[in-house]
Amino acid sequence: MTRWKYKLMPLFFIGPAVLLLMVFSFAPIFLSLGISFTDLTLIGLADWSKINFIGIENFVKLFKDKVFLESIFNTFFYVLIGVPLAVSSSLVIALLLSMVGKWLSSTFRLIFYMPSVTNIVAIAVVWGFLYNQQYGLFNYLLSLINIQSIPWLEDPLVAKFSLIILAIWKSNGVSMLIFLAALQSIPKVYYEAADIDGANRWQKFFKITLPSMSFATFFVTVTTVIGWLQFFEEPFVMTDGGPLNGTNSMALYIYQRGFEYNDFGYAAAASFVLFIIVIVATIVQFRFRKKDQTL
């Protein structure tokens, strides 16, 4: 083996992945940045001579666009409320699963993981029935304990919560698995040592379990935040952004502008705004992570 072979070997291995990223991620990103400064519509797609460069006009219009601003607000609402709930609930589920016996654990692991691999359209149909005003199961259960029916998908604010509940139920499976794996990789020795020192259950949890899982928690949080910033499927299949734009998210708005109204330039500009927000949110989290680097 000569030296240059050693140098080239790693490149050879990561090459395919980098190539795929280049073609299917980086190239479209730069392309859409370019498109966002033009007035590309359906006609421009067929005849490139009809595309005009219009500078930052799209971006100026975006920040005057009431519906876009509403969708930004909704997206942040989803993230601020949904992410903590999603991360903590999957952590709690993972902890509970690690406490019960093997048979119970594997059964429930399957049950909690199911929603993540179920087709979103099927989920929409079932949850549509659950949330239905007339014969929805949720309102029926509430009526049994004499609580008035809740307008699950009929009120802009309530509908946001309804979608958050659905999204948490749907995304818990994946995060739960990551937490479970992290839990199982904590060396038993720590707990034995703690037992000898006379630590109680809470102390063990806060001093050993949580710190040992900090990397898994970080990973789950970052991916969850990114996922929730791109909140799309749930409003798309359940409410189409309604009522009164109350559940419209940035990703859905981009879709509507781009693929329903053929306003590609404008949609590209909006997607770039979303892209910047995702990048910033991720960088911020990495900074925080650096500060409390203990592992």
Partner 1 sequence: MKNKVALFIGLIAVVLLLMAGCSSGDDENTIKVWTMNNSMEDFVTKYEEENDVSVEVQVIPWGEVKDKFLTAIASGEGPDVVQVGTTGVPEYADAGMFMDLSDYISEYENFNPDNFYEGAIGTTEYEGETIGVPFHVDTRVLFYRTDILADVGYPEGPKNWDEMVDASRQLAERGDDQYAIDLPRDDPQYPFMLAWQHGWNYNEDEGASNFEDPKFLEAMSKYETFYQEGLSQLEEGKELVQAFSDGSKPMFFSGPWDIKTIIDGAPEIEDQWDVRVMPEQDTNRSMIGGSHFGVFHNSEKVEQSLDFINWLADADTQLEWYKDVNELPANLEAWEDPILADDPKFSVFGEQLESTEVLPMITEYTEMSEELLNYMEEVYRGGADLESTLEDYRTKVTDILSE
List of residues 6+ apart from 29 with CB closer than 8 A: 275
Q: Is 195 in the site for partner 1 (CB under 8 A)?
A: no
- Report the residue from 10, 16, 17, 47 that binds partner 1 according to the rule CB under 8 A: 47
Among positions 120-149, residues that touch partner 1 (CB under 8 A) are 128, 131-135
- Report the residue from 81, 151, 190, 222 that binds partner 1 according to the rule CB under 8 A: 151
- Report the residue from 98, 105, 214, 245 that binds partner 1 according to the rule CB under 8 A: 245
- Least Cα distance to 52 among 31, 38, 37 occurs for 38
Q: Is 54 in the site for partner 1 (CB under 8 A)?
A: no
CA angle (50, 56, 60) in 5-degree steps: 115
Phi/psi class of residue 146: alpha, beta or left (left: φ > 0; alpha: ψ in -120 to 50)? left
Spatial separation of the C-alpha atoms in residues 174 and 116, rounded to whole Å: 7
Min CB(37)–partner 1 separation in Å: 16
Q: Is 157 in the site for partner 1 (CB under 8 A)?
A: no
Q: Is 11 in the site for partner 1 (CB under 8 A)?
A: no
| DSSP conformation class of 199 | -
Spatial separation of the C-alpha atoms in residues 43 and 45, rounded to whole Å: 5
42 versus 284: smaller Cβ distance to partner 1: 42
Q: Are 23 and 29 in contact (CB under 8 A)?
A: no
Min CB(42)–partner 1 separation in Å: 4
29 versus 43: smaller Cβ distance to partner 1: 43
- Report the residue from 56, 141, 244, 284 that binds partner 1 according to the rule CB under 8 A: 244
Size of the site for partner 1 (CB under 8 A): 25
Amino acid at 202: W
Q: Is 89 in the site for partner 1 (CB under 8 A)?
A: no
Instruction: Determine the number of helices (DSSP H) and then strands (DSSP E) in the chain.
Output: 16, 0
- Report the residue from 63, 205, 259, 288 that binds partner 1 according to the rule CB under 8 A: 259
Q: Is 51 in the site for partner 1 (CB under 8 A)?
A: no
Min CB(240)–partner 1 separation in Å: 7
Q: What is the DSSP string of 91-143?
A: HHHHHHHHHS-HHHHHHHHHHHHHHHHS-HHHHHHHHHHHH-TTT-HHHHHHH
Q: Is 260 in the site for partner 1 (CB under 8 A)?
A: yes
Min CB(47)–partner 1 separation in Å: 7
Q: Is 161 in the site for partner 1 (CB under 8 A)?
A: no
- Report the residue from 17, 46, 189, 196 that binds partner 1 according to the rule CB under 8 A: 46
Q: Is 166 in the site for partner 1 (CB under 8 A)?
A: no
Burial bucket for residue 168 (CB in 10 Å: 0-12, 13-18, 19+)? buried
Q: Is 52 in the site for partner 1 (CB under 8 A)?
A: no
List of residues 6+ apart from 40 with CB closer than 8 A: 51, 264, 265, 268
Q: Is 105 in the site for partner 1 (CB under 8 A)?
A: no
Spatial separation of the C-alpha atoms in residues 105 and 108, rounded to whole Å: 5
- Least Cα distance to 159 among 196, 127, 204 occurs for 127
- The residues that touch partner 1, with contacts defined as CB under 8 A, are 39, 42-43, 45-47, 128, 131-135, 151, 153-154, 240, 242-245, 259-263
